[in-house]
A and B are shown apart, each in its own frame.
Chain A
Amino acid sequence: MPEHRVLLRNHLGKDLTKLDEYKKLGGFGVWPKWVAQGPAAIHNEVKAANLRGRGGAGFPAGVKWGFLPNDGRPRYLVVNADEGEPGTFKDRYFLEDDPFRLIEGCLLTSYALNIHTCYIYIRGEFWRAIDVMEKAIADARKAGWLGKDIQGSGFDLEIYTHPGAGAYICGEETALIESIEGKPGQPRLKPPFPANIGLFGMPTIVNNVETLACVPVILEIGADGFNALGTPKNGGTKLVGVSGHVKKPGLFEVKLGLSLREIIYDLAGGILDDRELLGVIPGGSSCPFLTAEQVDQVTSMDFDGLKGVGSMFGTAGIVVMHDGTDLIDVLKRVTGFYRHESCGQCTPCRQGTGWLAAIVEKMDQGLADESHIDLLIDACTGIEGNTICALGEAAAWPVRSVATRFRPQLAKAIAARSAAFGS
């Protein structure tokens, strides 16, 4: 089996929402050693581990932490648990089944960065996750792992959950900050970056759940051990979610650097009903789609391994489509999503996502011809690079990829719809 489990432990049959069980598996075990070595040692170890941000962008976490200015202002750690990128369902695991791993990651990170308040922003639909995290925070506090003078170290930390309310855009870090402040989730212009002016105007680090869950692992096995699990500049393992037309959809953990084929065929059991592969979304629906031929060219699934095929590793939320897939139907769901989730702040995105959805709607109703594919591409060009945040690209790139890489199939589908329903 090509799986390698360091983070994912749901096969052990333990109830890791209980602090005792978590500690039995070594939980909070690294604390005494690293407190003795001090905050800078932790920061250096994480930097050396090449931990890339697991929220999708893949920015090195240790480098991001280094952007905090040393000016005496209070600092915040914000955990991005607004998991909502279609195809992605990995952070749910930590929040619902292994909450202390996240708490331990927050504790070690906060200690390293001299932070005393941490907010975990959890998407509103994750009702159960919020309950589990609230209870875990209370239990950790009772046991002296949060609160004042943690384990006699003199270090103080409070962690609070904060619920989202059904807005995908709040996964963007500055929109998330606005949302915690009680405002509509509209992204801020950068600079200034959150590391300087973030939550409540203070220096703020925003990290993804899985990123922070890796921190205790790094401090246990060391930066060298973590690097050895991955590929150059890509330390560690990665949770990958496979969904869509596969025989065994689900959540897996692999060393960074497996081939995309291994994940789809060896882990997820291959294509449903043994049909032919049509295409794959490799890292959440904001990533350009790959054709079956391109899938074979992805020999290293890591943050650098998809540049050659013009896509992204993203969240490693892999959506597989077989040859019976109706591409117009898929486009309808994708464009409908971004139209619904555009925050409305920038005209190219607010209007453009509506146009994309409207053009696809026409295709679906049999009222389009092949020229509408060019219209789609044109609308994508109008959105890309013209917005404050990356939602514009997130909406345009998947559409452009289908319009260009799957043009023959899409044209065929358009013609079939016109013949069936068109006037």
Chain B
Amino acid sequence: MMGSLAFSSTSKQRIAELVARYPRKQAALIPTLYVAQDQFGHLSDAVMQLVADELELPLASVFATAMFYTMLRKKPVGTWHLQICANVSCGLRGSDHLVGLVQDVLGIGPGETTADGLFTLEIVQCLAACGYAPALQVNKKDYFNVTPDGLKALIEELRTQRTEKSPETEAAHA
């Protein structure tokens, strides 16, 4: 059943480095779940089982932690994950216009993915960039002082990069 699912040698090596940082294996769980997410895209039940086996933890412990944290994704997202902050400071500086623009240009609302699987829109909580509002994060990259025109241009740029993997998603996560 699990035959087709395995950590790459790079992932395995990364996990070993992480485990060595702590006196208990479970402490490496969140960073290991990121390694799994980077390799598999999201944390399916099978991926969580794989992590549980790798760290010798009960599946229930892995599941409880994965379910608690927003950034540990239980569902797939598009190639480009548009995360718009809509907390107070970004709201005061027009983040709703950015959400509206994505709706107009891509036809998706918060939590939705375009039919071609290229874009997912998500409203996120404070990104700690309040002085540079409104703030946006696309995959792992920050964009500050975002205007509707700027976002429109960015979406077009990302659309043409559809076959490339963005450099920032390949950056190893701690």
Q: How far is the CA of A245 from the CA of B129 in the complex (A)?
A: 15
A215-259 CB contact bits vs B (8 Å, 1 = yes)?
A: 000000000000000000000000001111100011100000000
Q: Which residues of A contact B92 (CB under 8 A)?
A: 243-245, 319, 321, 325, 330
The answer, yes or no, to whether A61 is at the interface (CB within 8 Å) is no
Binds A, one of B81-89, B97-105, B148-156: B81-89
Q: How far is the CB of A326 from chain B (nearest CB, A)?
A: 9
Q: CB within 8 Å of A: which of B76-122?
A: 86-89, 91-93
Q: How far is the CB of B43 from chain A (nearest CB, A)?
A: 11
Residues of B in contact (CB 8 Å), total 47
The answer, yes or no, to whether B61 is at the interface (CB within 8 Å) is yes
Which residue from A86, A127, A200, A281 sits with its C-beta under 8 Å from B140? A127
Q: How far is the CB of A148 from chain B (nearest CB, A)?
A: 16
In contact, B125 and A317 (Cβ under 8 angstroms)? no
A127 and B30 in contact, given A83-B128, A165-B69, A330-B88 (Cβ under 8 angstroms) = no
Q: How far is the CA of A182 from the CA of B52 in the complex (A)?
A: 12
The answer, yes or no, to whether B158 is at the interface (CB within 8 Å) is no
In contact, A319 and B61 (Cβ under 8 angstroms)? no
In contact, B130 and A162 (Cβ under 8 angstroms)? no
A333 and B88 in contact, given A88-B128, A181-B24 (Cβ under 8 angstroms) = yes
Which residue from A83, A126, A160, A184 sits with its C-beta under 8 Å from B64? A184
Does more than half of chain A's interface fall in helix, strand or loop, or is it mixed? Answer: mixed
Q: How far is the CB of B146 from chain A (nearest CB, A)?
A: 14
In contact, B126 and A85 (Cβ under 8 angstroms)? yes
19 contacts between A and B (CB under 8 A): A84-B126, A86-B89, A88-B130, A89-B132, A123-B128, A127-B171, A128-B140, A131-B174, A133-B174, A163-B174, A166-B70, A166-B125, A180-B27, A182-B26, A250-B131, A319-B88, A333-B88, A334-B88, A341-B125
User: Footprint of B on A, CB under 8 Å?
Assistant: 83-89, 91-92, 122-128, 130-131, 133-134, 160-168, 179-185, 200, 241-245, 249-251, 281, 285, 317, 319, 321, 325, 329-330, 333-334, 337, 340-341, 343
